[in-house]
Chains A and B, each alone.
Chain A
């Protein structure tokens, strides 16, 4: 009896845990999913319904002129028949040909005054009928050759997903240049510190010399120095050296800022390598340089990969260093600066464009993240659990 109880309670607990995790995962994902969905929606649809309604039809307002062609005379009046969905300016929103009219009107201030299927009086005494399948019948007093009235109507447009936003962002908004600039900043800024740090980490891990402990402590201390301190003095130094605001400047800056973490991670890893291998290589007469290049470097690959991913994500996502050390012209803006300084201002209300720009900038890090997550986790653990 009691074992049954415990088992029952346990499965109830499992349910609670599973549901809690589902809730948490959904809560964490929803914002990003919203961005992704919005980036594929049409501008008009974004402003009409929330992204969570994206798979549903959207009710939109349309305006078109009652056609003049094919008018027939019926006594005093001119009769025009047609379909609102084929009218000029409307047809391209309904590539399928037809839709569903919910309401129509004859005046712009009340575009949905009449229900579909009813007959509306025109100002000059004529009548206008629009049925829900879009069939239109107008009885006009004046000759349609001399101008026809407007018809306003609400219709449901089918959900539409396009790549238009991506085309606009990449061509008109110069996001393509910004993308290449980000790549240009990121790759050298990832590779160069690794090499410098690897040599230093080897020295700190496997060489005996006075002051080693002090240097390790210094690296740990430098891990937390706020970047903000470096901005003004280093920018003015760059300017004095003639580097100024340039790609060379930002590569140097990222190298400097990335080094403490690189040295710290790599040293922690290298210290853990088996002592026998290194000692026996020394006995065999290998120099430190040879040991480092032939033994330690290949064995440290996981740690090198961890740091490379960190540094890649950090430099790709960086806004602060790019704002300060790169010139602020369009030709050298990286994506984060482009979005924060340009698009949010000029395209502030254009949600589709903003979503797309954001997605273009986070796409590559997300791919890196999901494919190389293993190394990222390993690096985090080496950096935080052991030391800190």
Chain B
């Protein structure tokens, strides 16, 4: 069957199924199990109202449990078994990872990514937000800097291949080098260590727009009086920015920073497309995909390591959310 037709049928079944489920389950609860009539009417209405939230929540809880909670346990359990999944080898996969040079490179590189990508994107985003604030064509500028957010990581990687190409007639970097009189083109993606930074530039390029949008909203939220008071006291624009505005935006900056940090730990596309993890550019997400389909035990072990790195941020997020609820 044509996949598109299959897709349309799925939409109808999916949407119809959801609506049908919610409608019918409410109907069943209200009229069959706890009918709001007869001598138990009052009690039945109360009971129905106790059950109803769970009717509303059930599909979501089921899907979340299956696709996000179960995998945490499932992946960990699988990571304790060998490649074929037949023999229990305890922490064998983790030991093998610890002993592997490539894993160590991946962890080290990931550390660099986590350090520099959020920092770069947040800094550029903050700069863009401040510069475009109250500017006449600020919205146009913002929209253009924000645009890479819509582009896939694969598309972005291809875009940057045209910047990094090892050919002065295609790659912008080599063209500039040639214009400056350097001899011969170089492949920046093969320069040991620094090639990681050329890859990070791509993600910074994408994420700056995200940081900018959120930080510029935070900038708008700063009370005018605080800035005016500083102006009257003779503060220069830099002092106003760093001493008045940035401290008031700190909460938002932290949120942006952590959001991008989490993203960095998930993105495998850029490394996969640009270098395939060669030339010492491996990071954990791409390292995991190198094992996917070949050695599930090792792959799940890498995935679980990523989970462990994300865990502190997760706990911090949950605490923040709970504090807000109170």
Q: Interface of A with B (CB < 8 Å)?
A: 13, 17-18, 20-21, 24-25, 28-32, 34-35, 38, 46-52, 180-181, 183-185, 187-188, 191-192, 195-197, 199-200, 202-204, 207-209, 212-213, 215-234, 236-237, 247-248, 251-253, 255-257, 259-260, 263, 287-289, 292, 313, 316-320, 323-324, 332, 336, 339-340, 344, 351, 354-355, 357-358, 361-362, 365-366, 368-370, 373, 376-377, 380-381, 384-388
Contacts and interface: CB of A to CB of B under 8 A. Distances in A.
B6 interface: yes
A334 to B, nearest CB: 10
B15 interface: yes
A336 B145 contact: no
Nearest to A317: B152
A219 B65 CA distance: 11
A256 B7 CA distance: 17
B22 A351 contact: no
B303 A319 contact: no
B208 interface: yes
Contact of B18 (A192, A228, A324): A192
B218 interface: yes
Interface string B260-299: 0010011011001100000000000100110010001001
Contact of B23 (A289, A316, A377): A289
| Chain A interface mostly | helix
Contacts of A248: 10
27 contacts: A13-B237, A24-B145, A35-B162, A50-B168, A180-B4, A191-B11, A191-B14, A192-B14, A196-B18, A202-B56, A203-B53, A218-B64, A224-B313, A226-B285, A226-B307, A232-B78, A232-B300, A236-B296, A257-B68, A289-B22, A317-B155, A324-B292, A340-B269, A358-B158, A366-B147, A366-B150, A385-B252
Interface residues of B toward A: which range? 35 or more
B195 interface: no
Shortest 3 CB-CB contacts between residues of A and residues of B: A256-B67, A233-B74, A317-B152
B41 interface: no
A251 B172 CA distance: 40
B27 to A, nearest CB: 9
Given A32-B147, A188-B7, A222-B69, A233 B75 contact: yes
A207 B145 contact: no
A247 B7 contact: yes
Contact of B158 (A35, A200, A217, A224): A35
A200 B152 contact: no
